Amino acid sequence: MTSSSAASLVLSVGDVQVFRVEELILPTSARWLLPDVTRPEVEPTKAWLQPHFMNEAGYLLQSIHTYVVKTPNQVILVDTGVGNAKQRGGGIPAFNMLDTPFLDRLASIGVTPSEVDLVLCTHLHGDHVGWNTNLVDDVWTPTFPEARYVFCEKEFTYWNTGGETARGARQLMVDSVQPVVEADQVDLVPADYVVSPEIELEASHGHTPGHVNIRIESKGRSAVLIGDVMHNPLQCAFPHLKSSLGGNEEPSREARLAMLRRYADTDALVLGAHFNAPCAGHVYRDGEAFRFEAVA
């Protein structure tokens, strides 16, 4: 089941429901994401990228959103977007000082902040931790007061010990990570942590040193939320090419190829953190590369 509304059910995986709550959508060029790709090389991919992941003008549609995962016993958020009123003066100006109705969209699928049990972050980049906190009387405060925030320990250690020294990296720790640490709401876990009978983490280190996927298994059905292992399904066709958003190039490539090889030609649904609606689809081998077919 799919929808393109700002907050909607994406699919059901056995007893687990996965919703997408949109923050914003950014059109970007293929060459911006993959600097070494050529227009003739991209042309054949339009057959399976359009209309969901590429518009008629040939621009990739990059979505910033949260996944809400409802199990029989828990409400889980996977990644929390950019957030409102966050100073993000880095390479993507659209992220700076956002003001979106994200919490209203969350409410439209029946979830209030106090009803969230867990927040899982695939990694700690600014567009994945922003709604961890919001401003209350000019103080950054946990948005989800009853939730446990679950971070891969390797990822947290990297950022918390100065793995990234840029001003923007320090800022996101101050406004979106440290407040939940200080509120004693954080659990640091290994990369293979079992969250619940239906949910577990899966190491996909590369884009960042402690990046993880979120695997869902229920009643014989499966899905995997891959965070930033890929930023757009276009990368299925060019898995070896470096990405402008890939982090350390070689580990990022290895993580991307490992994910594609693991899930290609299986029944598992793959959902990207920045895949535009309908977000979910299957990976298939296509010669030496892969292709992505959206669930319709």
For the chain, the domains span: 7-294
Q: Number of C-alpha atoms within 13 angstroms, CB side, residue 93?
A: 0
Q: For residue 222, what pLDDT is reported?
A: 98
Q: Which of 84, 101, 82, 73 is CA-nearest to residue 16? A: 73
Q: Which of 227, 163, 178 is CA-nearest to residue 201? A: 227
Q: Which of 288, 256, 289, 284 is CA-nearest to residue 269? A: 284
Q: How far apart are CA 84 and CA 132, in angstroms?
A: 11
Coil, helix or strand at residue 95: helix
Q: How far apart are CA 51 and CA 143, in angstroms?
A: 34
Q: How far apart are CA 54 and CA 60, in angstroms?
A: 4
Write out the chain's pLDDT in tens, 296 residues: 334 478 899 999 999 999 999 999 999 999 999 999 999 999 999 999 999 999 999 999 999 999 999 999 999 999 999 999 999 877 789 999 999 999 999 999 999 999 999 999 999 999 999 999 999 999 999 999 999 999 999 999 999 887 776 666 888 999 999 999 999 999 999 999 999 999 999 999 999 999 999 999 999 999 999 999 999 999 999 999 999 987 788 999 999 999 999 999 999 999 999 999 999 999 999 999 999 999 97
Span 224-266, pLDDT tens digits:
999 999 999 999 999 999 999 877 889 999 999 999 999 999 9
- The DSSP 8-state label assigned to residue 243 in this structure reads -
Q: How far apart are CA 207 and CA 229, in angstroms?
A: 6
Coil, helix or strand at residue 128: helix
CATH code, 7-294: 3.60.15.10
pTM, 2 dp = 0.95
- Specify which residues 90 forms β-bridges with: none
